[in-house]
Amino acid sequence: MRDLVSVQSLILASCQHRDDEGQACCACWNRGVYARRAARKAQLACRPNDCERCGKKPHTYTYGPYRLCGRCLKATEREHYQSEVRGGALAIFATGVMVNTENWAARKGD
């Protein structure tokens, strides 16, 4: 993240159109923001697609032993709570992990 801010800082420091308060002009400010966004987009694109459920996105969350993207996290939580409602409170202690991973795309090839 520090590199992203330094890209924007370099553009703002090189602005030759300062206003009365010493602030960078709007065009240079926007150019700095676009450069920071492009650098962040490139940084995110380099992440591996390692979601254990779908295998299509990078993981951003850890749910128990699983590394999941945001959409798969919500689906996994939904499955967990649905199985908890079906099994009752005793099922929590009897089964341990209540997430069924048999149909997960990343595990089908195993």
Residue 70 token pair: 């945001």
Tell me the per-residue pLDDT of 13-40, one tens digit each, with 9 for 90 and over.
Answer: 888 877 777 788 888 888 888 988 988 8
pLDDT exceeds 70 at position 9:
yes
Q: How many domains does the chain have?
A: 2
Are both 40 and 65 inside the same structural domain? no
Q: Is there a domain that residue 85 lies in?
A: yes
CA 37 to chain centre: 15
Are both 102 and 70 inside the same structural domain? yes
pLDDT exceeds 50 at position 110:
no
CA 21 to chain centre: 38
Q: Provide the terminal-to-terminal Cα distance of the chain, rounded to the nearest Å.
A: 36
Q: Which residues partner with 66 through β-bridges?
A: 63
pLDDT exceeds 60 at position 106:
no
Helices (H), the chain: 2-13, 26-45, 70-87, 89-95, 105-108
Give the global pTM.
Answer: 0.50
Q: Is there a domain that residue 68 lies in?
A: yes
Are both 36 and 65 inside the same structural domain? no
86 against 2, higher pLDDT: 86
Q: Is there a domain that residue 54 lies in?
A: no
Are both 68 and 41 inside the same structural domain? no
Confidence band of 109 (pLDDT split at 50, 70, 90): very low
Tell me the per-residue pLDDT of 53-104, one tens digit each, with 9 for 90 and over.
Answer: 888 888 888 887 888 888 888 888 888 777 777 776 666 666 555 666 666 6
Are both 65 and 41 inside the same structural domain? no
| Residue 90, pLDDT score | 67
Average pLDDT score over residue span 43-48:
83
Q: Is there a domain that residue 55 lies in?
A: no
Domain that includes residue 37, residue range: 2-45
Are both 36 and 75 inside the same structural domain? no
